[in-house]
Amino acid sequence: MTQSLTLRGVTLPRVLVFFAGAGMAVCAALSIQLFFAANYPPSAVDPAWANVSAFLACDTSARSGVAQVAGVPLGYFGLVMGMLVAFGAVFPSAGFERTNKALSVFNAVVVVALFGYSVLVVGSLCPLSAGYYVFAISSLGLFAAYGIDREQQGLRARWLRPSSTHLLAFAVLLVVGGWGLREYHKVRRQSRPSGVAALAVRCVTAEALPGRPDFADRSSAGTGRRGNSGAS
């Protein structure tokens, strides 16, 4: 029988790789939600709910320079990757598994780079990102231990044999979904309140958060600036 992670029936490794993919998808989806909550307050979702400490904090990471790529939240790419791994376990084929195996290598490289950037440059690590990293490395380990072509010699023969058909389909999904999310991001950015509207938002927020006097101070300062400009 062909050595495979997903083509040998319902086995424990196949179940585990499904949960690894689902875990990546869930962490990524929540990180997208936190990205918009942190960058476009006030929001129905408080980005601080995922903060554990000053170091383990998601709102800082959501505002960092690598939180988005060309206007697309980074979590979207993780969401697609997680869904592919999970769907590959539910609807297995040799081409699907080889493609996911190749993508898992790229995913692991990105994960290691993002972990280093978060710790060394940003100075904080989002718990949701950490969860994604764990699931991503776990899926790579499962592909290494049980995946198709593991008896082959050489990096390309063992790891880098994706199906061109699957890659094309995944690329279309990534581009179409990424474009839609980018447009949504653009709308949110353009509709961000400014001037008098921003002052009104800060005043309302200050009323809702009486324990945050800094909002009231900002509101007073903004009103003063507005009055001085009108007098001139």
Candidates 19, 9, 26, 20; CA nearest to 139 is: 20
The predicted structure's pLDDT at residue 223: 40
The predicted structure's pLDDT at residue 193: 59
Specify the DSSP element, H or E, that contains 135: helix 127-146
- For residue 167 the two structure tokens come to 């890659």
The answer to whether the beta carbons of residues 50 and 128 sit under 8 Å apart is yes
Q: Is the CA virtual torsion 71, 49, 196, 228 positive or negative?
A: negative
Structure confidence by residue, pLDDT tens digits, 82-100: 999 999 999 999 999 999 9
The predicted structure's pLDDT at residue 190: 75
Determine the Cα angle at 181 with ends 178 and 185, to 5°: 135
The predicted structure's pLDDT at residue 47: 60
The predicted structure's pLDDT at residue 141: 95
The predicted structure's pLDDT at residue 192: 65
d(CA 56, CA 50): 8
The predicted structure's pLDDT at residue 198: 47
Q: Which residues contact 47 (CB under 8 A, 6 or more apart)?
A: 34, 37, 38, 58, 59, 62
CATH number assigned to the domain with residue range 12-190, chosen from the 4 options 3.40.630, 1.20.1440, 1.25.40, 1.10.287: 1.20.1440
DSSP-assigned letters across all residues of 72-105: EEHHHHHHHHHHHHHHHHHS--HHHHHHHHHHHH
Q: pLDDT > 70: what percent of the chain?
A: 78
Query: Rounded mean pLDDT of the chain?
Result: 80
Q: Which residue type occupies 150?
A: R
The tens place of each residue's pLDDT in the chain, 232 residues long, gives: 568 999 988 999 999 999 999 999 999 999 888 888 877 776 556 666 667 787 888 877 787 778 888 888 888 999 999 999 999 999 999 999 999 999 999 999 999 999 998 888 888 888 889 999 999 999 999 999 999 988 888 888 888 899 999 999 999 989 998 898 888 878 877 776 554 444 454 555 445 545 544 444 444 444 444 444 444 4
SS3 118: helix
Q: Match 């505002």 to its residue by tokens.
A: 63
The predicted structure's pLDDT at residue 1: 54
